[in-house]
């Protein structure tokens, strides 16, 4: 089965769900990914640039959810069959997942170095195995 990379802005409750063995969700689940609205790799830009645009959109959405706290974005590789583009997306990178995302599909987390970050350079990379460390960063 082909996999598609998606980016999901997360809350502390989402991280707790993953730690407890529950999936991110429920479906339908809003996420960000490379969509036809961004272009096609090789025509106007390359796949890495398109993925970066989707990741940036997820960090912007995470800013709204974080309300001054640390932003968290998860990168996940999901079955391409569960990814669709809404008919009228609110942003060009919007995708919808028809199934929840299990921890086994999460690849990494991107977390603000300090609370209230706004730029993408402020986000630190954590492997999925560092979920407990990410949760500790968000603890009050």
Mean pLDDT of the region 120-135: 94
Residues 44-59: tens digit of each pLDDT: 567 888 899 999 999 9
Residue 20 or residue 117, greater confidence? 20
Domain that holds residue 20: 3-138
Peptide bond into 57 cis (omega under 30): no
Lowest mean pLDDT across 3-7, 30-34, 46-50: 46-50
114 and 44 Cβ atoms separated by less than 8 Å? no
Mean pLDDT across the chain: 91
CATH number, domain with residue 46? 3.20.170
Q: How many domains does the chain have?
A: 1
- pTM for the predicted model, two decimal places: 0.92
Residue 26 exposure: Cα atoms within 13 Å on the Cβ side: 0
CA gap 8, 84 in Å, rounded? 14
Residues 82-112: tens digit of each pLDDT: 999 999 999 999 999 999 999 999 999 999 9
Is the pLDDT assigned to residue 73 strictly greater than 70?
yes
């Amino acid at each position: 089965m082909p996999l598609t990379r998606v980016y999901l802005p997360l809350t502390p409750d989402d991280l707790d769900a993953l730690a407890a063995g529950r999936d991110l969700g429920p479906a339908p689940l809003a996420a960000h990914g490379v969509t036809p609205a961004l272009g096609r790799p090789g025509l106007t830009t390359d796949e890495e640039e398109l993925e970066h645009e989707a990741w940036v959109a997820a960090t912007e959405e995470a800013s709204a959810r974080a309300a001054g706290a640390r932003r968290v974005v998860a990168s996940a590789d999901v079955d391409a069959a569960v990814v669709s583009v809404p008919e009228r997306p609110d942003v060009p990178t919007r995708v919808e997942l028809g199934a929840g995302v299990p921890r086994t599909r999460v690849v990494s987390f991107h977390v603000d170095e300090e609370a209230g970050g706004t730029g993408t350079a402020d986000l630190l990379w954590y492997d999925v195995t560092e979920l407990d460390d990410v949760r500790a960063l968000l603890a009050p």
